[in-house]
Amino acid sequence: MTEQHQLDKLDRQILNILQDDATTPLAEIAERVHSSPATCQRRIRQMQNDGVILKQVALVNPTAVGRSLSVFVAVEVESQNPMLLDKFVRSLDKENDVVSCYEISGEHDYLLLVHAENMTSYHQLTRRIFTSDNNVRAFKSQFIMDFNKVETKITL
């Protein structure tokens, strides 16, 4: 998480590969970027230390694990008081179905991504966290009907 030197072409090529498949062996990476395994290894470690690579994770199919209802929820808060905003955000940590929370500009304040088991459990979730007690004035559910493109990759 130290200060980062500018990424060069080699770094970017390695990142493109690892963002597609983090299990790619160093020997294959080296071949594809025309370098050596040792050099690739050093670059990767450097980028991990610099916080360029945040972590390596397994991506799971929500439907296959019983979360077949996915929703973007646009939330409008009652008060912009920092303590109340913080309280709202922290209340999401306990909620397994809330995968992400972004603070956004515009008419809404937050955009959440939720993976729920079904409509009943989603409804219960909304009753639990989108309350005026929790500093929420209003919320709008945008149900995801199709995942046309869901990448985590930032192509460089």
* Cα three-residue angle 54-129-143, rounded to 5 degrees: 75
137-156 binders of a copy of itself (CB under 8 A): 140-156
9-68 binders of a copy of itself (CB under 8 A): 12, 15, 18-23, 50-62, 64-65, 67
The 3-state DSSP class for residue 111 equals strand
Provide, rounded to whole angstroms, the least separation between the CB of residue 156 and a copy of itself: 6
Tokens of 40: 């690739």
Residue 41 within binding range of DNA, rule CB under 7 A: yes
Given 7, 17, 26, 53, the residue binding DNA (CB under 7 A) = 26
Residue 115 within binding range of a copy of itself, rule CB under 8 A: yes
Is 66 within 8 Å of 78 (Cβ atoms)? no
Residue 39 within binding range of DNA, rule CB under 7 A: yes
Specify the stretch interacting with DNA by CB under 7 A; choose among 39-47, 125-133, 134-142, 143-151: 39-47
Cα(108)–Cα(33) distance, rounded to whole angstroms? 44
Is 102 within 8 Å of 111 (Cβ atoms)? yes
